Amino acid sequence: MKREQLNRIVGDELDHIPRGPKGSAQNEFRLVYNRRRRVDLGRDPSTPRKESVQRAAQSVTAYNPGFEPEYDTQYFEA
Average pLDDT for residues 38-48, to the nearest whole number? 95
Give the domain extent around 22: 3-77
Question: What is this structure's pTM?
Answer: 0.94
Helices (DSSP H) in the chain: which residue ranges?
Answer: 3-14, 25-43, 49-63, 73-77
* Cα R_g (the chain), whole angstroms: 12
End-to-end CA distance of the chain: 22
What pLDDT digit, counting tens, does each position of 3-13 carry?
Answer: 999 999 999 99
- Over the chain, what is the mean pLDDT? 96
What whole-number distance in Å separates Cα of residue 74 and Cα of residue 23? 26
Task: Indicate the number of domains in the chain.
Answer: 1
- Position 75 scores a pLDDT of 97
Angle of helix 3-14 relative to helix 25-43, nearest 10 degrees? 140
- Position 56 scores a pLDDT of 98
